[in-house]
């Protein structure tokens, strides 16, 4: 089915269920509950989950398969965003041309950077990609102000000369992005008792794109091209000794990865037509590295899990403050309550990076394969325990 093996089909179905049913999965607590702050089923946040999932899946094609660690992938995310916004300003508010242009321009930009950076490997490659990303950031921030609008960021205006659309709506406002008439901000809310579930058109577009991107990554991983990239990661020097030129393969992986990043940037601009230089900073590049390693580099579903994990921490866990902590520990004596809040305070709110850093350290030390390895260990333990329970007491196995 779809040219995939059974295990890959099951994995694709898992991702499909997680994304398409996200409004239910991410809203487990009633809206009037004290735990409702842990709900993450908001359109903007769900869009970020899948968009950065696409970003991480693309990065994993380069890092997970070839072992080339890029610290500059945010440059392609930013280029994709700028390309999409310019398409909205000049052509149409339809998201399809904007997304296509984002992928194409990011691919060409990745071809240029990859052609230069891949002349080196290891830490030198990583430093080159970081240098190119910082150059791109500074160009977008200052030198290319007529194109990027500098620190203010590129955004839509009422003076945009839109060829296939109007510059302003009937009420004098800026048109919104759409998919053949379906507005990306269109949201339907379903209330079921104390629960409220939101279904956003823009989110489901991003979810479908994620499924297509994930399917393509599976085909790449299972293809002869993917096997060649694994061989590069295993021992590139030995491959060179055999007379095989690995540069075209690594460059192709770099370009494909850059196109994934451009796709994520285009979707980001399609949901919110704004592009800023901050999307090209080294911190954004480091974030996708954390997502991939935390989820499981070289695995298929790992980057998606890592992206969701980090974005949840960034948007939900960081909102916990002292007032919330006091409400949680109100059952304690006053002195003990204040002490517990004092101890926990550095790890929540603005200090959520500290908690994330500790978790990342624990994963790297005890689960080198990321969250996927953790899931595999749990599944193996459950299977082993079940096998032991199924054994008949008193039954002996003859020696071989």
Give pLDDT, residue 255: 96
Among candidate residues 237, 254, 289, the one where a domain is terminated: 289
How close are the terminal C-alpha atoms of the chain, in Å? Answer: 42
Residue 387 lies in a domain: no
> How many independent structural domains does the chain possess?
2
Whole-number pLDDT of residue 37: 81
Whether 231 and 331 share a structural domain: no
Model-level pTM? 0.91
Residue 227 lies in a domain: yes
pLDDT grade for 397, boundaries at 50, 70 and 90: very low
Same domain, 335 and 276: no
Q: What pLDDT shows up at residue 398?
A: 43
Summarize pLDDT for 93-113 with one digit per residue, the tens. 999 999 999 999 999 999 999
Q: What is the pLDDT of residue 326?
A: 82
- Let me know if residue 394 belongs to a domain: no
Whether 141 and 285 map to the same domain: the answer is yes
Q: Which domain holds residue 330?
A: 316-380
Do 273 and 362 belong together in one domain? Answer: no
Q: Is residue 391 over pLDDT 80?
A: no
Please tell me whether residues 141 and 185 are part of one structural domain: yes
Same domain for 78 and 163? Answer: yes
84: in domain: yes
CA distance 11 to 298: 15
Question: What integer is the mean pLDDT of 301-305?
Answer: 91
- Final residue belonging to a domain, choices 289, 324, 343: 289
Q: What is the DSSP string of 106-163?
A: HHHHHHHHHHHHTTS-THHHHHHHHHHHHHHHHIIIIITHHHH-GGG-EE--TT---T
Beta bridge partners of 154: 275
Give the mean pLDDT of 139-147: 88
Q: Apex CA 111: angle with CA 107 and CA 117, to 5°?
A: 135
Same domain, 104 and 29: yes
Taking the C-alpha atoms of residue 148 and residue 150, their distance in angstroms, rounded to an integer, is: 5
Residues 71 and 161 in one domain: yes
Q: What is the pLDDT of residue 289?
A: 92
d(CA 73, CA 76): 6
Q: Are residues 257 and 109 in the same domain?
A: yes
pLDDT (tens digit, 9 = 90+) per residue, 249-291? 999 999 999 999 999 999 999 999 989 888 888 888 889 999 9
Which region among 96-105, 178-187, 207-216, 317-326 has the lowest average model confidence (pLDDT)? Answer: 317-326
Same domain, residue pair 210 and 345: no
Categorize the per-residue pLDDT at 393 as very low, low, confident or very high, splitting at 50, 70 and 90.
low
- pLDDT higher than 80, residue 323: yes
Does any domain span residue 386?
no
Residue 216 has pLDDT above 90, yes or no: yes
Residue 390: pLDDT band with limits 50, 70, 90: low
Considering the domain architecture, whether residues 108 and 221 belong to the same structural domain is answered as yes
Q: Residue range 297-316: average pLDDT?
A: 88
Q: Is the pLDDT of residue 91 over 80?
A: yes
């Amino acid at each position: 089915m779809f040219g995939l093996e059974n295990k890959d089909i099951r994995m694709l179905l898992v991702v499909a269920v997680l994304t398409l049913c996200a409004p239910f999965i991410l809203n487990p607590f009633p809206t009037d509950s004290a735990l409702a702050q842990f709900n993450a089923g908001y359109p903007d946040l769900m869009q970020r989950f899948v968009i950065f999932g696409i970003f991480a899946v693309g990065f994993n094609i380069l890092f997970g398969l070839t072992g080339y660690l890029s610290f500059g992938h945010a440059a392609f995310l930013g280029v994709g965003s700028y390309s999409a916004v310019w398409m909205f300003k000049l052509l149409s508010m339809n998201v399809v041309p904007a997304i296509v242009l984002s992928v194409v321009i990011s691919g060409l930009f990745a071809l240029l950077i990859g052609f230069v950076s891949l002349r080196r490997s290891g830490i030198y490659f990583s430093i080159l990609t970081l240098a190119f990303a910082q150059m791109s950031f500074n160009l977008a921030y200052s030198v290319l102000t007529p194109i990027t609008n500098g620190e203010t960021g590129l955004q839509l205006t009422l003076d945009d000369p839109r060829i296939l659309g109007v510059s302003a709506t009937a009420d004098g406002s800026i048109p919104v992005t759409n998919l053949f008439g379906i507005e990306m901000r269109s949201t339907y809310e379903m209330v079921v008792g104390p629960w409220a579930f939101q279904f956003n058109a823009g989110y489901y577009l991003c979810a479908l794109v994620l499924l297509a991107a994930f399917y393509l990554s599976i085909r790449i991983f299972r293809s002869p091209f993917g096997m060649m990239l694994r061989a590069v990661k295993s021992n590139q020097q030995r491959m060179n000794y055999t007379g095989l030129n690995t540069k075209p393969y690594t460059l192709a992986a770099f370009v494909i990865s850059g196109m994934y990043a451009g796709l994520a940037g285009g979707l980001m601009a399609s949901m919110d037509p704004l592009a800023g230089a901050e999307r090209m900073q080294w911190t954004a590049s480091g974030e996708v590295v954390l997502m991939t390693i935390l989820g499981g580099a070289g695995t298929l579903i790992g980057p998606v899990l890592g992206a969701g994990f980090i974005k949840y921490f960034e948007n939900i866990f960081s909102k916990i403050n002292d007032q919330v902590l006091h409400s949680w520990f109100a059952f304690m004596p006053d002195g003990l309550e204040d002490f517990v809040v004092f101890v926990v305070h550095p790890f929540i709110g603005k200090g959520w990076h500290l908690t994330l850093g500790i978790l990342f350290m624990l994963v790297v030390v005890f689960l080198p394969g990321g969250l996927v390895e953790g899931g595999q260990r749990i599944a193996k333990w459950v299977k082993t325990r079940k096998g032991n329970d199924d054994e008949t007491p008193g039954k002996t196995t003859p020696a071989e």
